[in-house]
Structure 1
Amino acid sequence: ALLEGDTVTLRCRAREDKSLSWVSFYHEEKKLEVLHNGTELSLSPLQPHHGGRYRCRGCVDTGLFWGQEELVTVPVPLTV
């Protein structure tokens, strides 16, 4: 389970490990950043606002593709 303060790394990979010329990451359908020299997005330290659905979009020699959606859940600690 993920906890607030953890580090989470999301990786975008093409099928058959094809080379990617660029990768975009999306959180809840909003573009976060475009990476031209990497395929990883690091969430650190993990905070409640990081929770939600993530996808990546990449470009390979055959065109653009969408990666599989991943759900990140950040439980909020309960104080009593």
Structure 2
Amino acid sequence: MLAIIIMTMLAAATATVIWIRNGAKQLFRERGWALFILLTGTLLAIGLLLRLPVPNPTDWIMTIFSPVYKPIVGWVEKGL
């Protein structure tokens, strides 16, 4: 539980630095994307600390591209 609190505090400190630095330069889009990526990473790390089933990105990629590569593998195996 202490690790989750420390991680949240570090993410909040990082978000504050991003907010101030990009706001001073008027980089509003970059500030938004940086905070979104920080939030996503923080939530995934907290999920790992709580031992929640966190999805694996390679499984998503395999699911998306399997209709493309299965026929290609079939053609290559028939040619051999």
Task: Tell me the TM-score normalised to structure 2 length.
Answer: 0.25
Structure with the greater alpha carbon radius of gyration: 2
Question: Which of 1 and 2 has higher RCO (CA within 8 Å, sep 6+)?
Answer: 1
**Greater strand proportion:** 1
